[in-house]
Amino acid sequence: MSVSSPRQLVEELLNDGGGVLRLAPAFVARDLVPPGRRFGLPEDAYDLGERGFLCERWLGSTTKADNRIGPDDEGLSRVVDSSGRPRMTLRDAVAADPGAIMGEAYAASHPQGLGRLAKLLDYGARIPYHIHPPQRFAELLGRRSKDEAYYFPSGVDAGPHPETFFGVHPWIVREGAYDVLLPYLVDWDSDLILRHSRAELQVPDEGFQVPSGVLHGPGTALTVELQEDSDVFAMFQALNAGRIISKELLFHDVRPADREAHGERFPLNFVEWELNGDPYFYENNHLSPQPIATDGGGAEWWIFYNTPKFSGKKLVVPPGGQHTATENGVYSILVWSGAGRYCGLDVRGGDADRDELLVSHAVAAAPHTVENTGDTDLVVFKFFGPDVNEPPSIKRFAG
């Protein structure tokens, strides 16, 4: 009996799904913050011992989680066949036949692959105040920057701290008082660094963009996140959720030579001070849904936009409705709620085995149908990689 090559297996899986790949859920543990326990899993599924807690689900992921302890494939989505049996990782599928999944032209111009990572974040306490190094620093370690954006779904318990800290007070930048943060990094014994930041409420059905180089401490609202496919960071907050976290996380993406030469001062280089101290930070980074003209069978909104690096939409199809979509290129989906058929495949929100698909370029670029077969709204989130769309921009405010 012959064994299929990876490329042959991709062809087989695409043929079986009519050009669409069904994905198994990819849950990820983190050891810094307790879980929010809103994934609908059994209570004993969230505590993973020395690995920490199950706090994230990665969607359409070709990115491995950079965890201290965990399986080699943590964070990688798996493609399943029509019987639900995992056959290969999505990363291996894209590598084996990028043209079939991404389209030949797009694959040729984007050799890094899908280039984006979607997540569900489910934390029971605020994530520590941290930063993602800009590209000029990430590339020193052979990595990529991590611009990201958030959307807060409605109808979900927001947890005890539904607010996110962003940036620093404008006076710090105006006065050039950048060293005001340094003592907290040196002493590494409190959460008082937050006194120099500003908190914004996590409002349901709204969100924020967070460019690399912006300090932030996300709150406890269940969050849909879309970002560049990277897992780089530097923690700036020592005390969080009642315990002191490892100071090694301040230097997570700092070269040993830079740490040796500059110590705690080096991660301050990651801070894009003008962005952090923008007095119009809210206005220039707040995301509210932007309506998209549709065929009348459903309603769509941009929920991730203002950047060429990734984009995302929310689709709502009413009971008994049928929506026809045509997209610019490959994308993945999460069915948030409701039941129906997506490109002919059965889907159901809240069922982790039936709620996630990747739509190949060939199918995405042709008219394809989304049907609601249930008695409640079918709500779907769509995730696109770099340069697939030309989404709207935020009207910029300036002082």
What is the pLDDT at residue 1?
41
272 and 302 co-located in one domain: no
Q: Of 226, 246, 278, which residue sits at a domain end?
A: 278
Residue 44 forms part of a structural domain = no
Residue 41 forms part of a structural domain = no
316 and 363 co-located in one domain: yes
Nearest CA to 236 out of 222, 209, 220, 254 is that of 254
What is the pLDDT at residue 66?
82
Entry pTM: 0.96
What is the pLDDT at residue 2?
53
65 and 90 co-located in one domain: no
Question: Which CATH number covers residue 362?
Answer: 2.60.120.10
Q: Of 250, 278, 306, which residue sits at a domain end?
A: 278
Burial group, residue 329, by CB count within 10 angstroms (0-12, 13-18, 19+): buried
204 and 69 co-located in one domain: yes
Mean pLDDT in consecutive groups of 10 residues from the start of the chain, 399 residues: 81 97 96 94 94 96 88 95 95 98 98 97 97 97 95 97 98 98 98 98 98 98 96 95 95 97 98 98 98 89 98 98 97 98 98 97 98 98 98 89
309 and 357 co-located in one domain: yes
Please list the alpha-helical segments (H only) found in the chain: 6-16, 90-96, 98-102, 104-109, 135-138, 170-174, 182-187, 256-262, 273-276, 281-285, 361-364
Residue 340 forms part of a structural domain = yes
125 and 220 co-located in one domain: yes
Residue 30 forms part of a structural domain = no
- What's the N-to-C CA distance of the chain in angstroms? 70
Residue 392 forms part of a structural domain = no
177 and 248 co-located in one domain: yes
Residue 159 forms part of a structural domain = yes
146 and 129 co-located in one domain: yes
Q: Of 256, 278, 300, which residue sits at a domain end?
A: 278
Burial group, residue 269, by CB count within 10 angstroms (0-12, 13-18, 19+): middle
Domain holding 15, by residue range, is 1-25+77-111+291-387
Residue 286 forms part of a structural domain = no
100 and 154 co-located in one domain: no
204 and 231 co-located in one domain: yes
Structure tokens at 91: 């990363």
Total tally of structural domains belonging to the chain: 2
153 and 202 co-located in one domain: yes
Q: Which residues contact 362 (CB under 8 A, 6 or more apart)?
A: 19, 100, 103
165 and 209 co-located in one domain: yes
Residue 358 forms part of a structural domain = yes
